[in-house]
């Protein structure tokens, strides 16, 4: 089984994280930046390169839901991005609830005393790590539940 790439897709950035080979931990790779919200060609190309480089077989895209669980404009854009990625790569794309991922990322960075100017450069990558780590923890939990049923 290959690695999993996690993406925090935003209006002007896309935070990227990758799992380890055992699907236990997520590490931040980079933040892909763009100059216009709808100009995604270079973003897709960079993600496709990273998928090949890390031998990825699944993609997790953060799904920004509102506090009440409903979906708005940002969620719709994330779903369209995920559908395009699935079509372009042929890989399964899992949408994962990302509520509080950016808030959690900001808290982690504050706890680590990261300066504000540096924080702005890494917060999307850290949010991608949190999204992917939450998904990896879910997989581990499901695996342990199923192991108990055998």
The residue range of the domain holding 113 is: 3-148
* CATH code, domain with 144: 3.30.420.140
Of 84, 100, 85, give the one whose Cα is nearest residue 5: 85
Model confidence band, residue 105 (pLDDT cutoffs 50, 70, 90): low
Whole-number pLDDT of residue 56: 98
> Structural domain tally of the chain?
1
pTM of the model: 0.86
Q: In this structure, what token pair is assigned to residue 132?
A: 């992917």
Residue 9 has pLDDT above 80, yes or no: yes
Q: Is the dihedral of CA 4, 64, 131, 140 positive or negative?
A: negative
């Amino acid at each position: 089984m290959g690695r999993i790439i996690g993406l925090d897709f935003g209006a002007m950035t896309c935070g990227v994280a990758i799992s380890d080979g055992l699907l236990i931990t997520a590490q931040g790779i980079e933040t892909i930046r763009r100059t216009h919200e709808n100009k995604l060609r270079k973003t897709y190309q960079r993600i496709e390169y990273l998928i090949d480089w890390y031998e990825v077989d699944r993609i997790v895209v953060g799904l920004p839901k509102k506090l009440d669980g409903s979906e708005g404009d940002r969620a719709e854009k994330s779903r369209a991005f995920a559908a395009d990625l699935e079509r372009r790569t042929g890989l399964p794309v899992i949408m994962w609830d990302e509520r509080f991922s950016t808030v959690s990322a900001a808290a982690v960075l504050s706890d680590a005393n990261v300066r504000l100017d540096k924080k702005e450069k890494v917060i999307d990558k850290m949010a991608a790590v949190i999204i992917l780590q939450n998904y990896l923890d879910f997989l581990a939990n499901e695996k342990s539940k199923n192991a108990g049923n055998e």
